Each structure stands twice: as structure tokens, then as C-alpha cells.
């Protein structure tokens, strides 16, 4: 969950470039930050605890000289956030520096061995052992590349590593296993990062590293080696599909707000995913005996909503499961007749990747939906679809959620056609409705923005909020709740409204806020009953319903008008005001919605 960035320039000072890159990577971790450069053969390090700007104010990263360096944003896994535990971490001589994203599983064992051999381990991190293992190898006379190739064979776990050595001041070694790592091949120098957004303004060419690969970059060339047999691998760069302007805030105060308002565009791109790929995924899903939909957090919620779409449009039963539970709950049932559709915005969520590898072992069909073209999930999947939502920098998923929902809907249509559950006319009618989604989303964002601000003002001081929905909008309730609790830190619960009287209703007191998602669909009548049950116990009723629903308006204390829409499209539209409410609540509480505490954009550890 940390992020790393490395750069070596033909000419000029590297520290300002590293700092800009770190800021772009801040979504991945922000409890400490650090940078190391080599200046005139000396290793110089600056690091500290806090967000990059806070650390920078104290250490002034740009005071580091030198044309080569590595940098790191930390999201602590081993060792609390402290200066000592912040990366870069060094060996005993202070000549080797390492930054790392991942988890080194056998670090305790390695640490014990290194201490016995006379090394002094200063931090409580799992990473520092790598610097000392490389030190051992250079002491034996190996050059940096050879030393790293030998050292890494001792390491178990996941890693994206960047390593520099002051005695070989023109080289950076990069090593990858199970954590994302990309080389950036530029005219003025070469780069490497956990995410190409760090160097997208410096080059439009990149090379994704694969597991068990080690690369070395200098200002003038790059080389890639297989860790297993130490042979060189030849690989050409590919073009990066991100434009620099896509990663700026575009005048919005936060990425999250920008990304919420980008949804009409990201939905438009989702509609235009290639039919060829939709068809290719629809094919095994239509044929398989069992279909699972798997994701974590928000991506799981899209699977939950998706399961209603597959059932209603294509008569296909799909089982939505959270990735971290999948292997224990269903692992034993997998066989070649099973299909898994994995959904992961980043394509790097460790729990999801683990399911992919496991299912491959069982010869099941692994397919995925992701927003990151060259992410690990694409390499583990037999087929994958790219959402094309553009980079999502805010930690809380917004535009990628609605684009996932739309892709489920498109897939459901293809499957419906294949299984002859819908005819050509119905298929075309659905497509007409789907094409109107970006405009409808734009309308909803504009028309509910003010109301969302008022709702946030009303909700900000509550200590608990309920979200209730029925049918497909159970997923909307779950997702609205997740947004509120993760960025505004208000404990919130979500249930299918039918469940409310099976327990949750015990918590309703005078003025307990309950948000109902109540479009005009087949559950509209029953949800009214659920609203009345809560109202009669004093609950404060906040409803999202259609603008002509007088009955609902009358029983609600606060009402957000929504346009009429097809039932299966409502989750895409109804989540929009809930995202805005969570955003404005966080801002009113003085919180930074782009960087919720303890969270990282992609969770690359189990
Ligand atoms: C919540 C959020 C997370 C992610 C989850 C999975 O706003 O962003 O719950 O949805 O960590 O991430 P991906 O989709 O990258 O696998």
C-alpha cells in the first residue's frame, strides 16, 4: 500500500521530480514520506512522519542534490509511523538505501540471522533486512545488480523494491513480486514507480515489470533480468494511456469531488467498452455451471448489484462474494465448470489476486473488470475488460464504482441475449436507456448537489446513520454507508430494508437518521412500510425517491428528488447524491476526503 518512485536523470536535480511524483502517489499511503539521493558519491536521506507537505515543511526535500534518487510514501504494516521506520532504510554502512511496497514475510528470521552476523537493525520494519542482505552480498565482491539478484532469493513475501548504492551512483535496481512496479523510459532519464502517474509528465513510455523480475535503470539505459535464472529479458516499452492533465484536480478542491463530477464522462467511456470483449466474457459466463462475482469494498458492492442485473436480465444466477472470504467459503467447490468475474479498480488488491491465482490452479475460468490496463489482475485473467474511467486518485472509489455497475449491466445484456432471455428489441431498448445514463448522471449531480450540502449540514454531528434500501439498491445502501464512514468517520450501518425489523430497529430512537433509497420499482410499496415502521419510532427519515412520489415526500423529513429510471439503472444514479453527502459531510467536519486515515487506495497486502 505504500508507493515507491525512483528516477535517474541525464542532467539536473532529481529531488523536485521525486517530490512531485510522491504527491501524485500520496493516495497510496501517507503516514510518512522519505527520499534518498546520491550526490557526489554520498547517499543523502530526508524523511519524516506525516503527509508529504508536512514532512517537506520540516526537511525540505528539494535541498537534496544529485541526479539519481528514490522516494517513498508509507502506509505502515510493520512498525508504527516514525522517522526511524520511514523509508528509505539503509544498511550498516549507510551506502545502500531501499524503498519498498509489500510485506516481507520471513523478515524476523532474516533479522535474527543478520544480527548474529553483526548487523545493526535500526527500524522495526520488515524492509530494512533487504538493505543488509544486499550489504552482505556487496561485501563478498558482487556489484549492485548481482548482489540484489542474490539477496532477493532469500526474501519471502511481496515486494516492489527500489535500491541505490552510493558506490555505483548511476544505477537504481528495481525488483518486483506481487506488488505493482513500472519502468518509465524517457528521453531525459529513466524512472520507476508503483504507478505510472508518478512519471506520466516525463515520458509516455513504460514497461510493467512482472513477478520475479529485477530491472536496473541508469540515466541512459535499462535492463531487465529474470530473478530465477539471472538471464536478461528483452522487452520493449508500451505507451501509457494516462495524460498528465487527467491527474490534476482541474479546479476542484479535492480529487474526490472532481471524480464524482467526472461520472457522466466515465460512464460514457464505460458504455463504449468494446462489444468484442463484452461478448468474450459473456460467453463463458453463459455456459458455466456456477458463476461467482468477486471483489473487495466498493468493488464487492458492484458485484452485489451486478448479481441482481444478471438474474433479472439474463436469468443467470451469480454468487457475489467478498474476496477475502472466497477461498475459505467456496474454494473447495471450484472446478473447470466454474467462472469467476473478479472486479478490482486497481487490479492490485491482494485478496482478489489471491483468488485469481487459486482459481487458475483449479482450472476455473478467471475473468476480470479493472480500471488499470497493465495491472496484475489482467495478467492473471483469461479475459479482462478495462473500465476506462481514467485514473482515480481520491482514496474513496466513486467514478469507478458507477462504471463497474454499468459494465455489469452491459454484460448482463450480452448474456441475456446469448441465453435468449431477451429478444433483439428488448436488447436495443435497453441500450437506448443505457445511452441516456451519462446525461441522467449529469442531471442528478447538478440537481442534487445543493440538497446534498444541506443533508451533510444536518448529518455531520450525528454519531450513527442508517442506510436502508431494497432489492438492487441494497447495494446502494451498503455503498452509501461505506462512503460516509470511511471519509466522514460517522459510524453507519446498512441493511436491506426488509432486515430492519429483524434487529436494527432496536436502535431507532427519536431523531435517529435513516436514509432510505426508494426509487419507483417493485419494492417501492414495501419500502414505504419500512419507512413507516421507523417513523413511528421517532426516526428521522431522509429519502431518495422520484420527484413525483407525493406519498413518500409526505412521510419524509428530508427528501431528495430523483428522476425516474429503469430499476437496474437506479443504483448508478442513486449513489451519486450519497457520494456527495459523504463528501460534504467530511469537508464540514474539517476532514480531508482524499486521504481518509488508515486507508490506502489499493490494498496490496492480505
Ligand atoms: C472504498 C474503496 C475500497 C476499494 C477496495 C477494493 O471507497 O475504495 O473499498 O473498493 O479496497 O479496491 P479495488 O477495487 O482496487 O480492488
Q: How confident is the prediction for the chain on average, in pLDDT?
A: 94
376 pLDDT higher than 80: yes
User: Does ligand 1 lie within 6 Å of residue 349's CB atom?
Assistant: yes
Give bridge partners of residue 136 from the DSSP assignment. Answer: none
Is pLDDT of 507 > 90? no
H or E element, residue 46: strand 42-49
The kind and range of the H/E element at 419 are none
Is the pTM higher than 0.95?
no
CA dist 69 and 62 (Å) reads 12
Q: 26 CB contacts (<8 Å, ≥6 apart)?
A: 3, 51, 52, 73, 595
Inform me whether the pLDDT recorded for 382 exceeds 90. yes
397 Cα–ligand 1 center, Å: 6
Residues 6 or more apart whose CB falls under 8 angstroms from that of 229 comprise none
**DSSP symbols for 56-93:** HHHH-GGG---SEEEEEEE--SSS-S-TTTSSPEE-SS
Selected residue with higher pLDDT from 502 and 291:
291
Q: Which residue has its alpha carbon closest to ligand 1 atom 3?
A: 297
**Which three three-digit cell numbers place residue 195?**
504507478
Cβ atoms of 519 and 565 closer than 8 Å: yes
Residue with CA nearest ligand 1 atom 10: 298
Single out the residue of 561, 562, 577 nearest to residue 476, CA to CA: 577
241: pLDDT strictly greater than 80: no
Lowest-confidence pick of 29-38, 124-133, 291-300, 542-551: 29-38
pLDDT beyond 80 at 30: no
Contact between 532 and 519 (Cβ < 8 Å): no
CA atoms within 13 A on the CB side of 338: 20
For residue 46, report the distance from its CA to the centre of ligand 1, in Å: 31
Predicted pLDDT at 354? 96
pLDDT for 86? 95
Q: How far is CA 110 from the centre of its chain?
A: 31
Domains of the chain: 3-249 (3.60.20.10), 252-435 (3.40.50.10490), 446-596 (3.40.50.10490)
Q: What is the pLDDT of residue 448?
A: 98
Question: Is the C-beta atom of 603 inside 6 A of ligand 1?
Answer: yes
DSSP tally for the chain: helices H, then strands E? 19, 25
Q: How far apart are CA 594 and CA 578, in angstroms?
A: 16
* Residue 565 pLDDT exceeds 70: yes
Name which of 258, 569, 559, 274 is nearest 441 in CA terms. Answer: 569
What is the C-alpha to C-alpha distance for residues 534 and 497, in angstroms, rounded to an integer?
Answer: 10
Specify the residue with its C-alpha closest to ligand 1, atom 9: 297
Q: Are strands 319-322 and 290-295 parallel, antiparallel or unpaired?
A: parallel
Look up 2 and say whether it is catalytic. Answer: yes
Lowest mean pLDDT across 10-19, 475-484, 592-601: 592-601
Model pLDDT for residues 277-290, shown as the tens digit of each residue: 999 999 999 999 99
CA distance 107 to 109: 5
CA of 606 to the centre of ligand 1 (A): 13
- 3-state secondary structure labels for all residues of 328-340: HHHHHHCCCCEEE
251 versus 364: the higher-pLDDT residue is 364
Q: Ligand 1 pocket: which of 300, 353, 487, 603 to mutate (most atoms <8 Å of CB)?
A: 603
Q: Where are the beta strands (DSSP E) in 540-582?
A: 540-546, 558-562
> DSSP alpha helices (H): ranges in 77-143?
107-116, 128-139
Q: Which of 2, 8, 148, 303 is catalytic?
A: 2
Cis check for the bond before 88: say yes or no (omega within 30 of 0).
yes
pLDDT-derived band at 410, boundaries 50, 70, 90 = very high
User: C-alpha cell of 245?
Assistant: 492533465
Q: Which tens digit of pLDDT belongs to each residue from 411-456?
A: 999 999 999 999 999 999 999 999 999 999 999 999 999 999 999 9
pLDDT in tens, 101-152: 988 989 999 999 999 999 999 999 999 999 999 999 999 999 999 999 999 9
Can you read off the three cell numbers belonging to residue 501? 425489523
**Dist. CA 363–CA 358, nearest whole Å:** 9
Which band of pLDDT confidence, cut at 50, 70 and 90, is reported for residue 493? very high
* pLDDT score of 605: 65
Per-residue confidence (pLDDT) for residue 604, from 0 to 100: 66
Record the cell numbers describing residue 182, joined without a space: 513500472
- Active site annotation includes 601: yes
Give the other-Cβ count within 10 Å of 220's Cβ. Answer: 10
pLDDT band at 245 (very low <50, low <70, confident <90, very high): low
Amino acid at each position: 500500500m505504500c508507493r515507491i518512485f525512483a528516477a535517474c536523470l541525464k542532467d539536473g536535480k532529481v529531488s523536485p521530480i521525486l517530490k512531485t511524483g510522491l504527491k501524485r502517489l500520496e493516495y497510496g499511503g501517507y503516514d510518512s514520506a522519505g527520499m534518498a539521493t546520491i550526490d557526489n558519491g554520498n547517499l543523502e536521506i530526508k524523511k519524516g512522519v506525516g503527509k508529504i507537505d508536512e514532512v517537506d515543511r520540516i526537511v525540505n526535500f528539494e535541498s537534496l542534490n544529485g541526479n539519481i534518487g528514490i522516494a517513498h510514501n508509507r502506509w505502515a504494516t510493520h512498525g508504527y509511523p516514525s522517522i526511524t521506520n520511514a523509508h528509505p532504510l539503509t544498511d550498516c554502512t549507510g551506502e545502500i538505501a531501499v524503498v519498498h511496497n509489500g510485506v516481507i514475510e520471513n523478515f524476523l528470521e532474516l533479522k535474527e540471522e543478520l544480527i548474529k552476523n553483526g548487523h545493526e537493525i535500526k527500524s522495526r520494519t520488515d524492509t530494512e533486512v533487504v538493505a543488509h542482505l544486499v550489504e552482505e552480498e556487496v561485501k563478498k565482491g558482487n556489484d549492485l545488480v548481482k548482489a540484489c539478484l542474490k539477496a532477493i532469493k532469500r526474501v519471502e513475501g511481496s515486494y516492489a523494491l527500489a535500491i541505490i548504492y552510493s558506490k555505483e551512483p548511476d544505477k537504481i535496481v528495481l525488483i518486483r513480486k506481487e506488488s505493482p512496479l513500472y519502468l518509465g523510459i524517457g528521453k531525459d532519464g529513466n524512472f520507476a514507480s508503483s504507478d505510472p502517474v508518478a512519471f506520466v509528465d516525463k515520458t509516455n513510455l513504460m514497461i510493467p515489470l512482472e513477478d520475479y523480475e529485477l530491472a536496473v535503470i541508469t540515466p541512459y539505459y535499462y535492463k531487465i533480468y529474470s530473478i530465477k535464472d539471472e538471464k536478461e529479458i528483452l522487452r520493449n516499452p508500451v505507451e501509457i494511456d494516462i495524460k498528465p492533465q487527467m491527474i490534476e484536480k482541474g479546479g476542484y478542491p479535492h480529487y474526490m469531488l472532481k471524480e464524482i463530477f467526472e461520472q457522466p464522462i466515465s460512464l460514457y467511456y464505460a458504455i463504449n467498452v468494446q462489444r468484442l470483449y463484452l461478448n468474450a466474457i459473456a460467453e463463458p459466463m453463459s455456459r458455466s455451471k456456477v458463476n461467482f462475482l468477486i471483489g473487495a469494498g466498493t468493488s464487492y458492492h458492484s458485484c452485489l448489484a451486478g448479481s441482481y442485473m444478471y438474474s433479472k436480465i439474463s436469468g443467470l444466477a451469480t454468487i457475489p462474494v467478498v474476496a477475502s472470504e472466497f477461498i475459505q467459503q467456496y474454494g473447495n467447490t471450484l472446478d473447470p465448470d466454474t467462472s469467476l468475474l473478479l472486479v478490482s479498480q486497481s487490479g492490485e488488491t491482494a485478496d482478489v489476486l489471491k483468488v485469481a491465482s487459486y482459481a487458475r490452479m483449479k482450472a476455473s475460468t478467471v475473468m476480470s473488470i479493472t480500471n488499470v490496463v497493465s495491472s496484475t489482475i489482467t495478467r492473471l485473467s483469461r479475459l479482462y475488460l478495462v473500465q476506462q474511467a481514467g485514473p482515480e486518485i481520491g482514496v474513496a472509489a466513486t467514478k469507478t464504482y458507477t462504471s463497474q455497475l454499468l459494465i455489469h449491466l452491459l454484460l448482463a445484456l450480452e448474456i441475456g441475449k446469448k441465453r435468449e432471455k431477451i429478444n433483439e428489441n428488448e436488447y436495443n431498448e435497453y441500450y437506448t436507456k443505457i445511452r441516456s445514463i451519462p446525461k441522467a448522471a449529469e442531471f442528478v449531480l447538478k440537481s442534487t448537489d445543493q440538497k446534498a450540502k444541506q443533508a451533510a449540514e444536518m448529518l455531520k454531528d450525528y454519531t450513527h446513520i442508517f442506510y436502508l434500501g431494497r432489492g438492487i439498491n441494497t447495494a446502494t445502501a451498503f455503498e452509501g454507508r461505506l462512503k460516509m464512514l470511511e471519509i466522514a468517520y460517522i459510524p453507519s450501518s446498512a441493511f436491506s430494508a426488509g432486515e430492519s425489523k429483524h434487529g436494527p430497529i432496536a436502535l431507532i430512537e427519536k431523531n435517529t437518521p435513516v436514509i432510505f433509497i426508494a426509487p419507483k420499482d417493485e419494492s417501492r410499496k414495501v419500502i414505504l412500510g419500512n419507512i413507516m415502521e421507523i417513523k413511528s419510532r421517532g426516526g428521522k427519515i431522509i429519502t431518495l425517491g422520484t420527484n413525483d412520489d407525493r406519498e413518500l415526500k409526505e412521510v419524509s423529513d428530508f427528501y431528495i428528488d430523483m428522476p425516474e429510471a429503469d430499476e437496474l439503472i437506479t443504483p448508478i444514479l442513486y449513489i451519486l447524491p450519497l457520494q456527495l453527502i459523504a463528501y460534504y459531510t467530511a469537508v464540514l467536519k474539517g476532514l480531508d476526503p482524499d486521504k481518509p486515515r488508515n486507508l490506502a487506495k489499493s490494498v496490496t497486502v492480505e
